[in-house]
Structure 1
C-alpha cells in the first residue's frame, strides 16, 4: 500500500487518549485496509512530556497549538475534556480545515451548533460518537441509519456511575452514601461526584441526543435536570414491590413540534428493557414511527470502549479525506423548547400521613382538584401515622406541582417523602 498516510494529531493522552494510541497501534493493519491508506499517530500534546506513560509516544509536546499547526496533521483528536481550552483548540483546528474527532460531551452539548456550522463552512468533519454512551454506537445511527425515520422519543441510561449506585441500592440494600463510596473506591465516581449524581453528565448527553433525533438546536441549558441524591432505600424497596426499577434516565421527545429534554430518576416497569440494565452499563432506547423500538446497549465508559468509538470516527474522517468528500452539515431547524412544567408525566408520590379516617379521601380529592388522576394506591400503617404511596396517570407536571403545594397545606399530611416520575408505562 503506497498511499500517503493519514496523520492523526492527539490533544491529551490520559485514560482515553492512551486507549486511542493503543488501538491505533494494535489495529493499524485493519484500519489501513478500511481507510485505503495507513493511519499513523503524529504529534501528541500533553501537559508534562516528561511523565512516564503506558504507551510509547515519539512526538510529544506541551503546546497543543503546535499540533494543530503541524502541516502533516490531517485529523485532530481532542481528549482534553471540559470547555476550555478544548473549545478554542477545536475551533482553531476546524478553522484550519482539519477534521476533528472528540469525545467531549460538555463541549458538544454547549457549543456544538457553532462548531458544526464552522465545520460545514470549512469543509471539515466534526465527529463525536464517543461523546454519548462511550463505546455504544448511537450518534451515527441517529444521524445516518435512522435519518429516514421520524424519531418520537429517545430515553436512556446515560451515566454508568449512577446506574452502578442504583444497582447496589437495589440488589445489596445499600444506602446512597454507601453505594457512592463503593463506586468511588472502584474508580467509577470522582472524589467530587457532582457531575454524575446531580445529573450534569447525563444532561449533556441528553442535549446531544435531542439535537440529533429532532434536527434541532438543544443545549445543555435547555435540559431539565434532577440527580439521584434524594433517592432512598425506601423508594427502591417500594418500587421493587410494585414491579419497577429505579433508574436515572435521560429523555428527549418531540410533541406537537416542540422539544422537551430532561434528566431525572424514574420508576421503570420491570418489563421494560431499560429496567434490566445493571451495574455501570449504559443503554439508549429509541421509539420511531417506522423502526419501532430499538435499544443500544453496552459499556458507556472506559479507556478502550470509548477509544473504539473514537477510532471509528477517525476511520470515517480519514475515508472522507481520501475521497475528497465535503461533508454535508445537518440541517437544523428552529423548534421551541417545551418547559418541563408543560410536559405530561406519570408520577410516584410517597406521603407520610396521619392514620385516621378520611385521610385517603382528602388526599385523593386534592389530586382530583388539579386534574391529576390516581392509578393505584398502597397504604401501610405505622403506629399513629401511615405511608401512602400513589402512582398517577399521566398529567401535566405543573398540575402535579400544584397538587403537591396543596398537599403540604393539609393538616393530615406530615411530609411529602418522595416524588419521582414513572417512565415507559403510559404513552
Structure 2
C-alpha cells in the first residue's frame, strides 16, 4: 500500500487587486529584547512576510524613550523617534511592546480610535483594562491581538479562541511563569534552597533584579485572568484571581513531595464550576503538588505549558518556551501576519469572544485537596486527636505519613517529636482551612510546617 504524504507549502499570496494600498505601515512602540527582535524580523524577513500576509509590511518607525540607548539588535537609526503619537497617526497597524499600564493604554486607545489595528504583548494592561480595549476595538472595527501576552512562543490564545470555539472548556491548568518554574525545578533537581535557586535564575537572566512580580505570583495571575476570559467567554478581572507565590516553599517541602512521588509547580488554574448556586468560575494561582506522572510535572527549566480540558476535545497540552526575545517575537509576528491578512481581505476585526458574565466563585467554595505538614509531639493519642478534627470538618484523610525526628541531645529534657504529612481527599477550601486552623491550635502540634494544594490525584 502506498501512503501519500501532503507536502507543506507556504500559503498562497492573498490577491490585493482591490486593495488601495500596496503596503501596510507598521509602528512599533518599544524596543526592548522583544521589540528589537520584532523589528529585526520585519526588516530581515520582509519578502516572506509579504508572501504570507498578501501585502508589504513597512516598518515606518520605532517609538522609544531614549533614541540612542543600546539595543540588542543593530537597527537603522532613522527609524527611532520619541514621538509615539505622531508615529501612530501614520500607521495602519501598531505593535505595542512597551509594557506597563501607562502610557501604553493611552497610546493603544489612540491607535484604535484612529482606525489602526493593534498587536500587544502587554499582559498587565489586558488583565486590568482588557474589556475596555476589546470594546473600543469592536466599536472601531479593528483587530486587537495579544497572543504574546501569555506563554511566550506557545500558540495558546488563538487555539482557545478559535480552534475550541465550538467546544466547552471546563478547566485550564498552566505553568505560565518561566522564572518560578526554573526556581522550583532547580530546588527539585539539584537540592538548592529557594535563595540559591533565585540567585541562579537572576544570573541567567530568567529573573529580574526585583523578582517580586514573578515569585509572588502576580505575573502568573495576570496571565490567568486572560486565559480564563477567553476560555469561559466572560470578563475576568485581575482582582478576581486568588494569588499566592512561591517564596515560602522550603527544601523540606520539595523533599517531602519527592518522597511522595510528587513535584511542586506554580500553577494558574481556571475552572468552570457547577453546584447548587449555578454555574460559576474560579481562577487562582498558587504552588501546587502534582503527581510526577502528570504532563505538567515534566515541564523543566524556564519552559511554560498549558493543559486544557474540554468536554469534546478532552485533554490538550501546549508546551514551549515561555519567554525570551525571539520566542515572544514569534508570537507577536503571528498576530501581525494574521491582522495584516484580515486588513487586506477586509471585514471586521476579531478581538475577543466574551458572550456571558459568569460570576466568580470565591476560593473558599472551591473543592480541592490539601497536603499538610505538621510537627507534633511523639506521644500516644496525637493521631487520634488530629484525625478527629479532620473528620469533624468533613475533610477525610487520604494518606498519612509519619517520620520520627531524632533528639539532638538525648540527655536533655526535650520531648521527641514527629513529622506528619497528611494528604486529604477533596473538600471545600473553607472546610480544609478551618481544619488546619483548629489543628494548629492543638497543644500537641508544635508547628504547621506547610500547607499546599494538590491536583491530579
Short-chain TM bin: over 0.9
Residue matched to 2:383: 360
Residues 76-133 of structure 1, C-alpha deviation per residue, up to 9 Å, x if partnerless?
0000001111111111111111110000000111111010000000001110000000
In structure 2, C-alpha distance between the alignment counterparts of 1:139 and 1:133, rounded to whole Å: 9
TM-aligned CA deviation for residue 328 of structure 1: 4.7
In structure 2, C-alpha distance between the alignment counterparts of 1:324 and 1:403, rounded to whole Å: 59
SS in 2 for 1:154: strand
Moved more, 60-69 or 387-396: 60-69
In structure 2, C-alpha distance between the alignment counterparts of 1:117 and 1:250, rounded to whole Å: 26
Of 251, 254, 262, the residue aligned with 2:269 is 251
Q: Matches of residues 8-407 of structure 1 in structure 2 within 5 Å?
A: 8-53=26-71, 54-57=73-76, 58-70=78-90, 73-256=91-274, 257-329=279-351, 330-382=353-405, 383=407, 384-407=416-439
> Which 4+ runs in 1 deviate beyond 6 A?
none
Q: Is the 8 A contact 2:235 2:354 kept in 1?
A: no
SS in 1 for 2:166: coil
TM-aligned CA deviation for residue 27 of structure 1: 2.1
SS in 1 for 2:109: helix
In structure 2, C-alpha distance between the alignment counterparts of 1:188 and 1:51, rounded to whole Å: 22
Are 1:410 and 2:442 counterparts?
yes
SS in 2 for 1:274: helix
Give the structure-1-normalised TM-score: 0.97
Residues 235-265 of structure 1, C-alpha deviation per residue, up to 9 Å, x if partnerless?
1111111111110000000112101000000
In structure 2, C-alpha distance between the alignment counterparts of 1:33 and 1:245, rounded to whole Å: 46
Higher Cα Rg, which structure: 2
Moved more, 37-46 or 207-216: 37-46
In structure 1, C-alpha distance between the alignment counterparts of 2:350 and 2:193, rounded to whole Å: 49
TM-aligned CA deviation for residue 24 of structure 1: 1.4
Give the structure-2-normalised TM-score: 0.91
Gaps of 5+ in 2: 1-12, 408-415
Are 1:6 and 2:38 counterparts?
no
TM-aligned CA deviation for residue 26 of structure 1: 2.6
Q: Is the 8 A contact 1:157 1:283 kept in 2?
A: yes
SS in 1 for 2:167: coil
